[in-house]
């Protein structure tokens, strides 16, 4: 197969060939080092590149390349020297002004730093006192949580709920837009990265044989903006649509389940939970959201199935949580549940809390006691208020804009002086020319090789 001439020409004039010719350890460099006779050196380059000896005129022209290196150096030096002398006073004046500006900027910064040192120390002292106070408030409240949880248990009797919610344990969970989903010790999932639009997909097996509904639980977390439970800057999210497919046993889910009703403990105006089952997935439009919720705490939404998912040996479920609103309106921390209750819209109680409630208080295992305490903590508005207050108090002091302005002023003053572009170029050329002059035979032979490789004689004979 023949290679088109233009492709060959493009290759020869490209960086690959150029790099090979200028390689200081190639055959050209070795030839220059071993062959001391300039005429023989030129002839040998012709033989290696064009497979023929150099003619006398060609040799004379090639030898002129060696002397041209010296001539170039002299020409550049002769131009650079007078220009350096001409511009020296102006450069000296600019450098003087730069040094004065740097000195003034440093002095202004040091003066302001000294003036505000005591104020910053006082502000930091107040910040530390605020942190200590908020830590104490949170610690005191946490001491009261077991007693408050016991009172809640006595009042609400979690052992006999109308609806028991069984958590889903996904064996596989993925997203469509690079969101990272990380399982937490309590079985919930915390998300990070990625962006909307996104779809969270969870594949799980459930031993339940007559599933009537699904619950989505969203939880606050100090890793989220404003403690969440969403990823947007105000802690909100928008669930555009929830979907569910299923299959009997361990088969891959291929049967669509339809939701006919939904209920949430709180819905934002114009973003009711019913919109999460209306079949519409639109950017910037509809879905369930909780913006404006009066308190920071656990929130739940329940979804009723049109027909129960029935199977004698359990089912495989595939949940899809569409979040297409845009920006960062994604779920931050969440957990999914299913139920077999006749009232799947009831918010009910998680199964672990129900089982713990049925065990006598004095005979509960540690995980059972923790289940009730954790559940109560997630619903306790005062706990989250105190934790949020501690995090806010722990924020660093705001940056002093005046101090930043002075720092930027110093950085600006320290910028290098901008010299005349022609002078800069001549300095660079002079440096390169001096380096070439140290090994002018090699430079000349590299130039010769480059010229021969791009000649018609080389192109048509190779």
CB atoms within 10 A of CB 395: 9
Same domain, yes or no, for 191 and 117? no
Which strand (E) or helix (H) includes residue 305?
Answer: strand 299-310
- More confident site: 50 or 458: 50
Cα angle vertex 418, ends 413, 420, to 5°?
Answer: 160
* Last-in-domain residue among 347, 380, 414: 347
Question: Is 295 in the same domain as 194?
Answer: yes
**CATH code of the domain containing 324:** 2.60.120
Q: Which of 348, 351, 369 is nearest to 360 (CA)?
A: 369
Which residues, 6 or more positions from 374, have their beta carbon under 8 angstroms from its beta carbon?
186
Q: Per the domain annotation, does 279 fall within a domain?
A: yes
Calculate mean pLDDT across residues 327-346: 97
* pLDDT score at 8: 40
In angstroms, the CA 45 to CA 437 distance is 20
DSSP string, 316-330: EEEEEEEE-S-TT--
Domain span at residue 301? 162-347
Residue 286 has pLDDT above 60, yes or no: yes
In-domain check, residue 282: yes
Residue 15 reports pLDDT greater than 90: no
Please say if the pLDDT value at position 10 is more than 50. Answer: no
Distance CA 45, CA 59 (A): 10
Asked whether residue 459 carries a pLDDT value surpassing 80, the answer given is no
The runs of H, that is alpha helices, within 267-365 are 351-358
CA 182 – CA 189 distance, rounded (Å): 5
Q: Does the structure show a pLDDT above 80 at 7?
A: no
CA atoms lying within 13 Å on the CB side of residue 230: 24
Same domain, 102 and 247: no
Per-residue pLDDT at 398: 94
SS3 at position 249: coil
198-206 and 172-175 as β-strands: parallel, antiparallel, unpaired?
A: antiparallel
Q: What does residue 195 show for φ and ψ, rounded to 5 degrees?
A: -165, 165
At residue 83, does pLDDT exceed 60? yes
Q: Percent of the chain, pLDDT > 70? A: 95
| Predicted pLDDT at 395 | 95
Spatial distance between the Cα atoms of 399 and 253, rounded to a whole number of angstroms: 54
Q: Is the pLDDT of residue 4 over 90?
A: no
Task: Work out the percent of the chain whose per-residue pLDDT is above 90.
Answer: 80
Q: Is residue 380 part of a domain?
A: no
Q: For residue 299, is pLDDT > 60?
A: yes
In a domain, 69, yes or no: yes
Q: What is the pLDDT of residue 177?
A: 93
Please identify which residue in the block is written with the tokens 């120390």. 121
Residues 251 and 298 in one domain: yes
Residue 65 has pLDDT above 50, yes or no: yes
263 in the same domain as 185: yes
Element at 417 (helix H, strand E): none
Q: Which of 333, 283, 38, 317 is nearest to 179 (CA)?
A: 333
93 found inside a domain = yes
Separation of alpha carbons 285 and 329, rounded Å: 12
Query: Looking at the domain assignment, is residue 359 inside a domain?
Result: no
The answer to whether residues 252 and 178 belong to one domain is: yes
pLDDT tens across 231-274, in order? 999 999 999 999 999 999 888 899 999 999 999 999 999 999 99
* 189 and 258 together in one domain: yes
Identify the pLDDT of residue 25: 83
How is residue 262 written in tokens? 């939904």
Cα 334 from Cα 323, distance rounded (Å): 13
Say yes or no: 171 and 146 in one domain.
no
Inform me whether the pLDDT recorded for 6 exceeds 70: no
Number of domains in the chain: 2
In this prediction, residue 458 has a pLDDT band, given cuts at 50, 70 and 90, of: low
Give the pLDDT of residue 1.
41
pLDDT digits (tens, 9 = 90+) for 37-50: 999 999 999 999 89
- Within 10 A of 185 (CB to CB), how many other CB atoms are there? 6
Q: Which of 66-70, 102-106, 134-138 has the lowest mean pLDDT?
A: 66-70
Question: Which of 347, 377, 406 corresponds to the end of one domain?
Answer: 347
- What phi, psi does 302 have (nearest 5°)? -115, 145
User: What gap in Å lies between CA 439 and CA 64, rounded to an integer?
Assistant: 15
Q: Show the tokens assigned to 336.
A: 């999914």
Q: Helix, strand or coil for residue 300? A: strand
Residues 194 and 85 in one domain: no
DSSP 71: H
Residue 49: count other Cβ atoms within 10 Å of its Cβ: 20
Rg of the chain, C-alpha, whole Å: 39
Establish if 134 belongs to a structural domain: yes
Sheet with 241-248: strands ordered across: 172-175, 198-206, 315-323, 241-248, 255-257
Task: Give the span between the Cα atoms of 210 and 249, in whole angstroms.
Answer: 13
Residues pairing with 322 in the sheet = 199, 241
Residue 221 in contact with residue 326, Cβ under 8 Å?
Answer: no
Helix (H, G, I), strand (E, B) or coil at 224: coil
Residue 367 domain-assigned (yes or no): no
Q: Which of 291, 317, 347 is the last residue of a domain?
A: 347
For 58-97, give the DSSP string.
Answer: HHHHHHHHHHHHHHHHHHHHHHHHHHHHHHHHHHHHHHHH
In this structure, are 148 and 166 located in the same domain?
Answer: no
Task: Dump pLDDT digits (tens) for 119-152.
Answer: 999 999 999 999 999 999 999 999 999 999 999 9
Tell me, yes or no, whether 205 and 97 share the same domain: no
Looking at the predicted structure, is the pLDDT value of residue 12 above 80?
no
Q: Could you give the CA distance from residue 239 to residue 196 in angstroms, rounded to a whole number?
A: 11
Same domain, 138 and 170: no
């Amino acid at each position: 197969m023949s290679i088109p001439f233009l492709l060959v020409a493009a290759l020869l004039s490209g960086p690959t060939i150029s790099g090979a010719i200028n390689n200081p350890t190639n055959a050209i460099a070795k030839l220059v080092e071993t062959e001391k006779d300039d005429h023989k050196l030129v002839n040998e380059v012709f033989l290696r590149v064009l497979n023929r000896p150099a003619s006398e005129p060609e040799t004379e022209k090639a030898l002129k390349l060696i002397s041209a290196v010296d001539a170039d150096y002299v020409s550049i030096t002769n131009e650079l020297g007078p220009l350096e002398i001409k511009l020296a006073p102006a450069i000296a004046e600019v450098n003087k002004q730069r040094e004065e500006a740097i000195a003034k900027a440093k002095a202004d910064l040091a003066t302001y730093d000294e003036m505000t040192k005591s104020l910053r120390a006082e502000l930091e002292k107040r910040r530390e006192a605020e942190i200590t106070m908020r830590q104490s408030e949170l610690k005191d409240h946490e001491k009261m949580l077991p007693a408050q949880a016991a009172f809640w248990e006595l009042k609400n009797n979690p052992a006999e709920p109308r609806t028991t919610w069984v958590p889903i344990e996904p064996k596989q969970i993925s997203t469509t837009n690079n969101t990272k989903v990380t399982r937490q010790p309590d079985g919930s999932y915390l998300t990070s990265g990625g962006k909307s639009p996104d779809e969270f997909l969870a594949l799980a097996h459930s031993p339940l044989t007559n599933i009537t509904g699904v619950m989505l639980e969203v939880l606050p977390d100090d890793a989220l903006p404003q403690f969440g439970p969403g990823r947007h800057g105000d802690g909100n999210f928008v669930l555009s649509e929830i979907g569910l497919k299923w299959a009997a046993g361990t088969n891959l889910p291929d049967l669509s389940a339809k939701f006919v009703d939904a209920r949430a403990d709180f819905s934002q105006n114009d973003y009711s939970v019913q919109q999460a089952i209306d079949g519409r997935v639109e950017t910037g439009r509809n879905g369930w959201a909780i913006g404006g919720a009066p308190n920071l705490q656990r929130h739940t939404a329940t979804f009723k199935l049109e027909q129960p998912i029935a199977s004698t040996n359990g089912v495989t479920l595939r949940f899809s949580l569409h979040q297409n609103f845009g920006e960062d309106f994604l779920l931050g921390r969440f957990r999914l549940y299913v139920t077999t209750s006749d009232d799947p819209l009831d918010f009910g109680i998680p199964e672990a809390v129900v089982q713990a409630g049925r065990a006598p208080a004095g005979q509960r295992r540690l995980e059972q006691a923790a289940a009730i305490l954790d559940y109560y903590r997630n619903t306790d508005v005062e706990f989250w208020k105190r934790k949020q207050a501690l995090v806010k108090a722990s924020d660093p002091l705001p940056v002093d804009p005046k101090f930043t302005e002075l720092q930027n002023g110093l950085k600006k003053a320290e910028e290098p002086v901008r010299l005349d572009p022609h002078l800069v170029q001549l300095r660079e050329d002079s440096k390169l020319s001096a380096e070439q002059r140290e090994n002018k035979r090699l430079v000349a032979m590299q130039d010769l090789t480059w010229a021969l490789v791009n000649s018609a004689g080389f192109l048509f004979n190779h």
